[in-house]
Structure 1
Amino acid sequence: MKAIVVEHAGAPDVLQIRTLPRPQPRPGWVLIQVKAFGLNRSEMFTRQGHSPSVKFPRVLGIECVGIVEAAPDTNLHAGQTVAAVMGEMGRAYDGGYAEYTLVPASHVIPLQTTLPWELLAAIPETYLTAWGSLFDAMEVQAGQSLVVRGGTSSVGMAAITLAKDKGLQVLATTRTEAKANALRENGADDVVIDTGQIADEVKRRVPGGVNGLLELIGTVTLLDSLQAVAPKGIVCFTGLLGNAWVIHEFEPMAAIPSTVKLTQYSSDTVSAANSTQALQQIVDGVAAGRYRVNIDRVFHFNDIVEAHRYMEENRAKGKLVVVVD
């Protein structure tokens, strides 16, 4: 089978297409014929060498969609449409950047859908991350106000769609005016140009601050984000678009306003047991036109180096997808 292999950390051109033996089915694991996969920044970080637990060579890919080829000793069967998400895919074992992948059944979600593969591939990791952040971590409610900081990312776009469907007032941020219209077209009520300091501007537009803020930029903007929410509001740390992992000299008593809550959501918690119902609901919502999937660009398998370079240059306004052809 064809697979995209990283022999060592480095620039996008370390992604090499190789011929590898097809994985052999084993009890409790699912062999999937991969039809398409979404790209994720965590894969870029791994390729760059920022995932210490990952041993090279490795086939990357924390998600994929496709068809079950074999699933011994599981509740799945050959021919089913499935999504595979997380569970150390592309980290502890080879992931979705291949024609076939072998994944523990605990992280394979069966789906009833006729959506095209490239559209389906844009949904799992992105929408489940946005769903978990808004509904599990933040417990948002209709009528509340929300800032999505990093709104043009794929998770940001999904979060805007979900929040508007729930009945929230949504402000979204972008660093460039050129991307502002994409946020409005996706449903954002207002757009804030992010200069690195948005708290005062947010409070000017929503007096007293917003009820919640979804932080997708990360540590470089988190302290400012904490100042943008109202008393008893909540900030959810979900993304690392700013490529910085820690806050130096963090003083919680000074940095977190009184009664403001800080939480985080990680898609590492996603599994078939806790996410099958949500993902099916999301897929059905996309099929019905209730939820919008923002695909920036679809790449062919052989164009993986170009795809990673595009992602690394922060050129996307939405999800990047690779089809296995």
Structure 2
Amino acid sequence: MRAAVCVRAGGPEVLEFRKVPIPAVRAGWSLVEIKGAGLNRSELRTRQGHSPSVTLPRILGIECVGVVAESTDARLPAGTTVAAVMGEMGRAFDGGYAEYAVLPNELLMPITTTLPWEVLAALPETYLTAQGSLDALGVAAGDRLLIRGGTSSVGMAAASIATALGVETAGTTRQPAKLSGLHTTHALLDDGGSPAAAVRAVWPDGPDHVLDLVGARTALDSLQLVRRGGSVCVSGSLSGWLVPDFEPIAAIPSGTKLTSFHSKDTAGNTVALQGIVDQVEAGAYQPNLDRTFALGEIAAAHAYLESDQATGKVVVLP
């Protein structure tokens, strides 16, 4: 089979397009013919050498969609459409940057759909993370939601879900050219500082919730933007992992809630993913697919994502 192998830490050029053996099925695992794989920024960081637990060479890719080719699990007969996310895919074992992968049965989510492969591939990690984050915030119809990092794939998915729910939304982007890509009630430009003035112009008392996908650099500011007693969920790490000099009592206003959502909690959630797929098919949610690349173009795909050109999801098609 053909696969993109990360041979060492470095730039996009360390992703080598190779022919490798099709992996053998073993007890508790299934062979999946991969039809599409969404790209994620965590894969960029692994390629760059910022994931010390990952041993290279490795076939990266923390998510994929495809068809079961061989399985010992009765619920996964050959020909079943499946999706898989997280669970150490592309980290402890080979992941989605290939024509085939052997994956743990508990990760495989059987899905019924008529969506094209590239659209289906844009959904699992992105939409499951967005849904989990909104659930963590406790977002409900009539609420006001600020999404920081609004033109990221998760940000756009969150806006789509929230809008369908009847939530008033505002999204931020640092790039003026991407303002039109913010499918939110209010589109706000983030100049790299605090968007406090722009947010207060929309909501003088602040939003009820902030979904912070920028992460470490903006988390403390988000706690000051949300209304007193509101909630902030940090679900992204576009600006890194650690918040320097974090003093909870000083940083969190009394009664305001700070939470998080980790996409590892999306693994194996078939019911949630099927519901998302159904909503996309019905036109209630938008897939927000930015661009597709062939598997042999994986280095170019990484360079494109790394350059912050994408508005939405980037997908690789074997």
Give the stretch that moved more between structures: 172-181 or 91-100. 172-181
Residue of structure 1 equivalent to 2:158: 159
- Tell me how many residue pairs correspond in the alignment: 317
Structure 1 residue 204 displacement after superposition: 3.0
Structure 1 residue 72 displacement after superposition: 0.8
Residue of structure 2 equivalent to 1:248: 244
- CA deviations on 1:79-110 (whole Å, 9 max, x unpaired) are 00110111100000000100100111111100
Structure 1 stretches lacking a partner, 5+ long: none
Distance 1:75 1:87 in 2: 19
Distance 2:39 2:125 in 1: 9
- What code does the residue aligned with 2:297 have? D
- CA deviations on 1:275-322 (whole Å, 9 max, x unpaired) are 111111111111111111111111111111000000111110000011
Instruction: Report the 3-state secondary structure (helix = DSSP H, G, I; strand = E; otherwise coil) of the residue aligned with 1:239.
Output: coil
CA contact (8 A) 1:301 1:322 kept: yes
- CA deviations on 1:85-144 (whole Å, 9 max, x unpaired) are 111000000001001001111111000011110111000000000000002x11211000
Alignment of 1:167-246 (within 5 A): 167-183=166-182, 186=183, 188-195=184-191, 196-242=193-239, 244-246=240-242
Structure 1's consecutive aligned runs of 4 or more residues displaced over 6 angstroms after TM superposition are: none
Q: TM-score, normalised by structure 2?
A: 0.98
Distance 1:133 1:100 in 2: 31
- What code does the residue aligned with 2:249 have? M
Alignment of 1:43-58 (within 5 A): 43-58=43-58
CA contact (8 A) 1:129 1:155 kept: yes
- What code does the residue aligned with 2:309 have? R
- What code does the residue aligned with 1:39 have? L
- What code does the residue aligned with 1:80 have? T
- CA deviations on 1:181-203 (whole Å, 9 max, x unpaired) are 111xx2x1101111221134312
Residue of structure 1 equivalent to 2:260: 264
Q: TM-score, normalised by structure 1?
A: 0.96
Structure 1 residue 246 displacement after superposition: 1.1
Instruction: Report the 3-state secondary structure (helix = DSSP H, G, I; strand = E; otherwise coil) of the residue aligned with 1:94.
Output: coil
Distance 1:164 1:224 in 2: 24
Instruction: Report the 3-state secondary structure (helix = DSSP H, G, I; strand = E; otherwise coil) of the residue aligned with 1:59.
Output: coil
CA contact (8 A) 2:59 2:90 kept: yes
Residue of structure 2 equivalent to 1:128: 128
Instruction: Report the 3-state secondary structure (helix = DSSP H, G, I; strand = E; otherwise coil) of the residue aligned with 1:13.
Output: helix
Instruction: Report the 3-state secondary structure (helix = DSSP H, G, I; strand = E; otherwise coil) of the residue aligned with 1:70.
Output: strand
- What code does the residue aligned with 2:259 have? T
Give the stretch that moved more between structures: 125-134 or 71-80. 71-80
Identity within the alignment, %: 53
Residue of structure 1 equivalent to 2:144: 145
Distance 2:137 2:106 in 1: 25
Distance 1:182 1:311 in 2: 16
Structure 2 stretches lacking a partner, 5+ long: none
CA contact (8 A) 2:215 2:238 kept: yes
Instruction: Report the 3-state secondary structure (helix = DSSP H, G, I; strand = E; otherwise coil) of the residue aligned with 1:47.
Output: helix
Structure 1 residue 73 displacement after superposition: 3.5
